[in-house]
Structure 1
Amino acid sequence: MKRLGTGIGWRPEIADAVERMPGIDWVETVAENVCPGHLPESLRRLRERGVTVVPHGVSLGLGGADRPDDGRLAALAERVEALGSPLVTEHIAFVRAGGSLTATPHLEAGHLLPVPRTRDALDVLCENVRIAQEALPVPLAVENIAALIAWPGEEMTEGQFLYELADRTGVRLLIDVANLHTNHVNRAEDPAKALAELPLEAIAYVHVAGGFERDGVWHDSHAHPVPRPVLDILSDLASRVSPPGVLLERDENFPEPAELEAELASIRRAVEAGAVERVKAEVRAAGNAVAARRQAAAPGGRREVRAEAPVRGEAGAPRCHRTGTAEATRGAFGRPEHRSVDEARQRLGVAQAALLSALVAGTPVPEGFDRVRVGVQARALAAKRADVVGKVAPELPEILGADYRTAFLGYAQTQPMTGGYRRDALTFAEHLLSAGRPGDAAARRELREWWLERSGPAPRSRRPVRRLARATRKVLLRR
């Protein structure tokens, strides 16, 4: 696997700072935010300097019940080619549910949601990963995600689930140590146990990010400094294997460049501290092996005594033993021959649609879920929708002013997202205009003009007015 080194998430807001930062070996960019035919000049300059650029997808939904969309896969492959990337990454998550598979309304989460660690979900995920691998021109790595909620009736730990996935598909892993910390706080999962169960030789690189805790819940915000517990998990990982690459993620609330550079320095120190422990472990293991051989060779010694060699990762670093072989794990958690992936898709689809409907459409919470946590997740999804729509359509907060957020959250309670964020912005505007809002006449006229300009396949000035669009406008203009 290519050694990447130390990197940072490239975002337009910090593009200039990233270009000037010392010691940046590579960057990662959100794949969906890149237009292959019009790459940002900053990314072009970084590539010309030999800096590796890795596209990081967020919308495939590999953990969803449906097969990966061919169009999304083709678009991701196009971005890989445009950036000349050695690999591409995505998430172990579902982002949409419903539709024809379950004969229920199609819903979009606008966020990465956890998949249940069950045999059905693993079977579906493995097949979806294989489909993606065949469609993409470079190796694929998939990331463990943070979760506010846990599925009832899970059959595997996170480490076992990831181990089986890598073993059955050969996919690489992008391990997010911040997400391991999130799951430790929110789901009482031991990050050391997860690391001990992982196939560390499959790691492509590592994510590090910050967050915050509120009312006993950790929010993986990517907008706060990296906390000490996350750095400690990174050191633990580095004590087990030498990670090919480590990357700092920051998506908003960007600090001054000096603060980002200080965080990168802390990340490097955490990796170095882990490497020291790894070397110590290797020395101890070598000493134990020599002592065991001497004991076996001594007169009267037991020649059967043998030091057990540590399991090693790709870079030769020792790591903890896993319990059982791949075959034994598969026997416990794998897919028996009689299980049908199509049937698994159906069952998984029904379960995911029920949960997502509770989160975004206000339907009853499915049995077995923590209702309080589902409520926390639902509010977080609505808040993220408001934030992203405000960025996608910045004119809306300008037109509505201080009322924007309250108005959007009220809209989100009854109007789940069924398309992308741009469609969501238009639907929000339609919702307001249909209700005769905003109350200020000047603001309402401005909002109406904004909606009319963007509600068709092309701006009004460059397209004929169709009857349906004209009729819809007449209804809105009478308000």
Structure 2
Amino acid sequence: MRRLGTGIGWRPEIADAVEHMPGIDWVEVVAENVCPGHLPASLLRLRERGVTVVPHGVSLGLGDADRPDEGRLTALAERATALGSPLVTEHIAFVRAGGPLTASPRLEAGHLLPVPRTRDALDVLCANVRIAQQALPVPLAVENIAALISWPGEELSEGQFLYELADRTGVRLLIDVANLHTNHVNRGDDPARALAELPLEAIAYVHVAGGFERDGVWHDSHAHPVPRPVLDILTDLASRVRPPGVLLERDENFPGPGELERELAAVRTAVDEGAVHRRAAAPRPTARTAARAAAEPNRERVALAQAAVLSALVAGTPLPEGFDRVRMGVQARALAAKRADVVAKVAPELPAVLGARYRPAFLDYAQAQPMTGGYRRDALDFVAHLLRTRRPEDAGVRRELRTWWLERSGPTPRSQRRVARVSRAARRVLARRG
């Protein structure tokens, strides 16, 4: 496996700092946030200097019951090619549910949700990973996610699930040690056991990130300093194997360059401490599970289970049996908050127009309106909801919202339609003169 070294997640907010930061061997960029034909100048300069750039997908839904969407796979492949990347990465998660397999409305989570660690779900995941591998021009690595909820009746530990996935598909693993810590706090999973059960030779690289604990729940925020328990898990991993690459993630609440450099130094130190005590990897399960010929008999069962969970989280339907009501409530609120945050980024005009009213208004809307068509559609639906319910009461604000909605709601933006009308009128005048 190609050695990557020490890296940091590239984000527009810290692009300048990353360019001038010493000791950065590579960066990772959220795949959905870049356009192959219009790459940010900062990324191009990094590429020219020989800095490796890896696209990291967040919306493919490899754990969905449905097969991966061909358009999303094509988009991910285009980004890998445009960036000259040695690999691409995605998550072991489901992000959509419902649709033809369940004869129910198709819903979107807007974020990453854990797949059940069952044989059925593993079969579906393996089939989807193979489809993705065939469509991508470079190797694929998949990431273990942070979870707030546990599925009842799981058949495998996290380490066993990852081991079998890698064994059956040959996929590389992106191990997020912060997510191992999250799942230790939230689900009682043992990080050391997970590391002992992993196929260490399959590790492509490692993620490190911060979070915070509230009321006994760990939130993987990517907006706080990396805590000591996460660094300790990184040291444990590095004592078992030399990680090909380690990357610091930060998505919100960006500190100054000096603080980022200190966090990177702490990451390097944790890896070095592990190297000093490196030992042979702990014995791993030797039994091989024969790859099943097809996942089709399991897709419907997985689809029904995922649809019931997602509907409970975003549409207020009854909880499926066996789920913890409190944790599901925490997850539902986290998904709604994520929607509000991302819509504010996709459509920054809305919080600017609504001010302090934006967040409570959006959360009220989200409680009754599940997301079904992505974040840009969600922004349009939110404004349509406000206009339909005549909120807010300020008529001037409603006029601004109506103008915004009309500008973006059609297949062609209103401004472009206006230009097209003027252009057609000019052509008619010229034609008459001719």
- Normalising by structure 1, report the TM-score: 0.86
- Residue 69, structure 1, aligned to residue 69, structure 2: yes
Q: What pairs with 1:166-245 in structure 2 (closer than 5 Å)?
A: 166-245=166-245
Q: Deviations over 1:336-381 (max 9, x none)?
A: 67xx521200000000000000000000010000011000000000
Alignment equivalent of 2:299, drawn from 345, 355, 358: 345
Cα distance, 1:101 vs structure 2: 1.3
Q: Deviations over 1:95-146 (max 9, x none)?
A: 0000111111000000000000000000000000000000000000000000
Contact 1:119 1:335 in 2 (8 A): no
- Residue 450, structure 1, aligned to residue 404, structure 2: yes
SS at match of 2:37: coil
Q: Deviations over 1:398-424 (max 9, x none)?
A: 111111111000000000000110100
- Residue 95, structure 1, aligned to residue 95, structure 2: yes
- Equivalent-residue separation in structure 1 for 2:413 and 2:108 (angstroms): 26
Q: What pairs with 1:288-437 in structure 2 (closer than 5 Å)?
A: 318-323=280-285, 325-327=286-288, 330=289, 341-437=295-391
Amino acid at match of 2:121: A
SS at match of 1:146: coil
Counterparts in 2 of 1:180 and 1:440: CA distance versus 1, 3 Å: same
Cα distance, 1:462 vs structure 2: 2.2
- Equivalent-residue separation in structure 2 for 1:255 and 1:91 (angstroms): 26
How many residues align? The count is: 419
Q: What pairs with 1:33-72 in structure 2 (closer than 5 Å)?
A: 33-72=33-72
SS at match of 2:64: coil
SS at match of 1:463: helix
Structure 1 unaligned segments of length 5 or more: list them.
282-317, 466-479
SS at match of 2:105: strand
Q: Deviations over 1:223-249 (max 9, x none)?
A: 000000000000000000000000000
Cα distance, 1:50 vs structure 2: 0.1
Amino acid at match of 2:218: W
Cα distance, 1:438 vs structure 2: 1.3
Contact 1:232 1:270 in 2 (8 A): yes
C-alpha RMSD of the superposition: 1.1
Amino acid at match of 2:188: A
Q: Tell me the residue number matched to 1:255.
A: 255
Which runs of at least 4 in structure 1 moved beyond 6 Å after TM superposition? none
- Equivalent-residue separation in structure 1 for 2:348 and 2:10 (angstroms): 21
- Equivalent-residue separation in structure 2 for 1:8 and 1:349 (angstroms): 36
Contact 1:6 1:246 in 2 (8 A): yes
Cα distance, 1:461 vs structure 2: 2.8
Cα distance, 1:463 vs structure 2: 2.5
Cα distance, 1:51 vs structure 2: 0.1
Q: Tell me the residue number matched to 1:300.
A: none
- Equivalent-residue separation in structure 2 for 1:370 and 1:162 (angstroms): 24
SS at match of 1:319: coil
- Equivalent-residue separation in structure 1 for 2:93 and 2:287 (angstroms): 24
Alignment equivalent of 1:441, drawn from 395, 402, 406: 395
Contact 2:9 2:28 in 1 (8 A): yes
Contact 1:74 1:135 in 2 (8 A): yes
Cα distance, 1:456 vs structure 2: 0.7
- Equivalent-residue separation in structure 2 for 1:354 and 1:195 (angstroms): 31
SS at match of 1:21: coil
- Equivalent-residue separation in structure 2 for 1:55 and 1:326 (angstroms): 34
Cα distance, 1:464 vs structure 2: 7.6
Contact 1:167 1:326 in 2 (8 A): no
Q: Tell me the residue number matched to 2:431.
A: none
Q: What pairs with 1:105-124 in structure 2 (closer than 5 Å)?
A: 105-124=105-124
Q: Tell me the residue number matched to 2:424.
A: none
- Equivalent-residue separation in structure 1 for 2:380 and 2:292 (angstroms): 47
Amino acid at match of 2:336: A
Q: Tell me the residue number matched to 1:132.
A: 132
Structure 2 unaligned segments of length 5 or more: list them.
420-434
Q: Tell me the residue number matched to 1:309.
A: none
SS at match of 2:36: coil
- Equivalent-residue separation in structure 2 for 1:271 and 1:108 (angstroms): 37
Cα distance, 1:326 vs structure 2: 3.4
- Equivalent-residue separation in structure 2 for 1:193 and 1:215 (angstroms): 25
SS at match of 1:141: strand
Q: Tell me the residue number matched to 1:471.
A: none
Q: Tell me the residue number matched to 1:162.
A: 162
Amino acid at match of 1:275: A
Amino acid at match of 2:301: R
Q: Tell me the residue number matched to 1:9.
A: 9
